[in-house]
């Protein structure tokens, strides 16, 4: 994977985590403030209703009439109220309006019930949908069909002149209610202010998260770049002396006279190790170029049929010398993709080379090309030694070998599958492995087709 893309993805992930955490804290804080403000306004409304109810209760309780028909006395005490089952004056005079101590008649209303729960009197401005039956609950909140909400308080009225033979000494009940229109409007205003503020704060959090994550990733990215530069520089520095070493060995073979067998063995060992180091450095440089400079712009459309056929013919002679049966299954229909032909050539070559290394004599290797769900699938199957489940998890790591001793004897560097994985990632494909010990392995490469 391109290192710049990897760090950009890490930066995005860090910014999202930071923004998510800060956004959650902001959301919880905003919800807490919202609940506190709404609760404070609600308690203020209830205290106001209780205060008015207490004033009315203390003022009218000594004047409460005694008898079966108290309506006449109620007219004198409450000229502003309408008597039940009688015509009601909708527009009282200013004197009548202040008789009961409530000047804001559009907000509050009053209802009086006797001790049996029968409605005696009510304010002309009470909601028309209120039931005439009595509800003894102290606090009630209800909503009308038109959406208006009301909050109502109920208190008991007593009279000192009641009949002593009565079961209780309650005269009746006083209900005071008020519309919640102003409260709902205030709650809506608080809600919009908090939502707008939280959205603005969230935008600032996202912007600052991206900036802070960029600052946090800069030292890591610079350190990674220095490490990459060091690897590339070290490889370049080692390449020159190794090249000189190989040239010297080649010249030594040409100019030296007949030497002992020990000298020949030593020179061969030096030559083999020099070639091995040269291969490692070349593959490390190739990996570094893949990660730093993917060169996607150099992709071209080419045929996978020709690529698989060419590689099969190339490795066929080696397979025959190793007494391994190498076959291919390539369809006649052309399968084309957009990619780097030389890189994919190296990818499939590495897979076939690995199969040859880990397949015993008289074994079989099959190379298959087909299409599946808008993907080109290249499979390399062998019946070699297989790979254990523990090793399959690390098979695409750099310098990891399933059989390290055998790989070194055959010239393996441990970078072949790492290079294969890097090439597949560059082409936005996928490589998978299915293997069992003693039963062989199947490597499958999935590449998007050229549509």
- Encode pLDDT of 116-168 as tens digits: 888 888 888 888 888 778 888 999 998 888 888 999 999 998 875 655 555 45
For the sheet containing 108-114, what is the strand order?
82-83, 119-122, 108-114, 170-179, 149-158, 139-143
Q: What percent of the chain has pLDDT over 90?
A: 26
Average pLDDT, the chain: 80
For residue 435, what is the enclosing H or E element? strand 430-436
Residue 414 contacts residue 400 (beta carbons within 8 Å): yes
Mean pLDDT of 320-331: 91
Residue 387 to residues 267, 367, 402, 437: CA-CA distances in angstroms? Answer: 35, 19, 7, 5
| The pLDDT of residue 325 | 92
Res. 203: pLDDT tops 80: yes
Q: Work out the number of other CB atoms within 10 angstroms of the CB of residue 433.
A: 14
Res. 97: pLDDT tops 60: no
Instruction: Collect all residues with Cβ–Cβ distance below 8 Å to 336 and sequence separation of at least 6.
Output: 301, 302, 303, 304, 449, 450
| The pLDDT of residue 263 | 64
In angstroms, rounded to a whole number, what is the distance separating the alpha carbons of residues 130 and 436? 80
Backbone angles phi, psi at 79, to 5 degrees: -65, -15
Residue 37 contacts residue 190 (beta carbons within 8 Å): yes
In angstroms, rounded to a whole number, what is the distance separating the alpha carbons of residues 313 and 319? 10
Q: Work out the number of other CB atoms within 10 angstroms of the CB of residue 84.
A: 17
The alpha carbon of residue 261 and the mean position of all alpha carbons in its chain are separated, in whole angstroms, by 68
pLDDT band at 400 (very low <50, low <70, confident <90, very high): low
Mean pLDDT of 284-307: 76
In angstroms, rounded to a whole number, what is the distance separating the alpha carbons of residues 424 and 337? 13
Mean pLDDT of 209-224: 83
In angstroms, rounded to a whole number, what is the distance separating the alpha carbons of residues 34 and 40? 10
| The pLDDT of residue 444 | 94
In angstroms, rounded to a whole number, what is the distance separating the alpha carbons of residues 218 and 10? 11
Q: Which CATH number fits domain 296-448: 3.40.50.720, 3.60.70.12, 3.30.565.10, 3.40.605.10?
A: 3.30.565.10
pLDDT band at 228 (very low <50, low <70, confident <90, very high): confident
Sort 249 into a burial class: Cβ within 10 Å, 0-12 / 13-18 / 19+.
middle
- Half-sphere exposure (CA, 13 Å, Cβ side) for 146? 8
Token pair in block for residue 299: 């992709």
Is 448 in a helix, a strand, or coil? strand
pLDDT band at 91 (very low <50, low <70, confident <90, very high): low
Mean pLDDT of 193-213: 90
Same fold, 215-291 and 296-448: no
Instruction: Collect all residues with Cβ–Cβ distance below 8 Å to 24 and sequence separation of at least 6.
Output: none
Residue 255 to residues 74, 249, 262, 382: CA-CA distances in angstroms? Answer: 136, 10, 17, 45
In angstroms, rounded to a whole number, what is the distance separating the alpha carbons of residues 131 and 113? 12
165-179, 215-229, 294-308, 437-451: which has the highest mean pLDDT?
437-451
- Half-sphere exposure (CA, 13 Å, Cβ side) for 385? 11
Res. 210: pLDDT tops 50: yes
Instruction: Collect all residues with Cβ–Cβ distance below 8 Å to 88 and sequence separation of at least 6.
Output: 82, 124
Mean pLDDT of 268-295: 72
Map out the domains of the chain as residue ranges.
3-188, 215-291, 296-448
| The pLDDT of residue 104 | 56
> Three-state secondary structure along 41-81?
HHHHHHHHHHHHHHHHHHHHHHHCCCCCCCHHHHHHHCCCC
Mean pLDDT of 4-21: 84
Q: Which of 148-157, 210-219, 398-407 has the lowest mean pLDDT?
A: 398-407
Res. 88: pLDDT tops 70: yes
Mean pLDDT of 426-448: 90
pLDDT band at 308 (very low <50, low <70, confident <90, very high): very high
In the chain, % helix, strand, coil (3-state, to 5) comes to 55, 20, 30
Give per-residue pLDDT as tens, 27-72: 899 899 999 999 999 999 999 999 988 888 888 777 776 665 666 6
Mean pLDDT of 217-246: 72
CATH number of 215-291: 1.10.287.130
Mean pLDDT of 387-410: 67
């Amino acid at each position: 994977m391109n290192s710049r893309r990897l760090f950009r993805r890490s930066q995005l992930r860090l910014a999202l985590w930071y923004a998510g955490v800060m956004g959650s804290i902001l959301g919880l804080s905003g919800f807490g403030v919202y609940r506190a403000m709404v609760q404070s306004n609600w308690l203020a409304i209830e205290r106001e209703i209780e205060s008015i109810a207490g004033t009315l209760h203390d003022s009218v309780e000594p004047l409460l009439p005694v008898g079966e028909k108290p309506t006449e006395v109620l007219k004198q005490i409450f000229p502003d109220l309408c008597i039940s089952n009688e015509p009601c004056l909708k527009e009282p005079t200013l004197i009548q309006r202040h008789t009961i101590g409530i000047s804001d008649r559009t907000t509050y209303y009053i209802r009086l019930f006797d001790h049996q729960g029968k409605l005696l009197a009510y304010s002309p401005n009470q909601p028309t949908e209120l039931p005439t039956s009595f509800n003894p609950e102290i606090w009630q909140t209800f909503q009308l069909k038109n959406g208006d909400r009301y909050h109502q308080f109920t208190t008991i009225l007593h009279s000192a002149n009641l009949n002593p033979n009565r079961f209780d000494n309650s005269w009746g009940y006083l209900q005071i209610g008020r519309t919640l229109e102003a409260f709902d409007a205030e709650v809506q205003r608080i809600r919009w202010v908090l939502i707008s503020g939280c959205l603005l704060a969230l935008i600032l959090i996202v912007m600052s998260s991206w900036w802070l994550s960029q600052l946090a990733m800069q030292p890591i990215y610079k350190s990674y770049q220095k490490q990459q530069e060091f690897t590339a520089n070290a490889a370049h520095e080692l390449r020159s002396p190794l090249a000189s070493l190989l040239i010297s060995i080649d010249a030594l073979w040409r100019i030296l006279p007949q030497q002992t067998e020990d000298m020949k063995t030593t020179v061969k060992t030096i030559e083999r190790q020099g070639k091995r180091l040269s291969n490692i450095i070349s593959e490390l440089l190739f990996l570094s170029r893949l990660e730093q400079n993917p060169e996607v712009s150099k992709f071209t459309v080419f045929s996978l049929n020709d690529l698989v056929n060419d590689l099969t013919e190339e490795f066929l002679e080696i397979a025959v010398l190793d007494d391994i049966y190498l076959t291919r299954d390539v369809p006649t229909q052309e399968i084309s993709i957009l990619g780097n032909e030389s890189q994919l050539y190296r990818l499939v070559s590495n897979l076939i080379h690995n199969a040859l290394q880990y397949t015993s004599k008289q074994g079989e290797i099959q190379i298959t090309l087909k299409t599946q769900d808008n993907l080109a699938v290249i499979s390399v199957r062998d019946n070699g030694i297989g790979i254990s489940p523990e090793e399959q998890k690390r098979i695409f790591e750099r310098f990891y070998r399933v059989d390290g001793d055998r790989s070194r004897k055959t010239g393996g560097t441990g970078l072949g599958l790492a290079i294969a994985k890097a090439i597949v990632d560059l082409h936005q494909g996928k490589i998978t492995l299915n293997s069992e010990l003693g039963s062989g392995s199947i490597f499958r490469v999935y590449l998007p087709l050229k549509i």
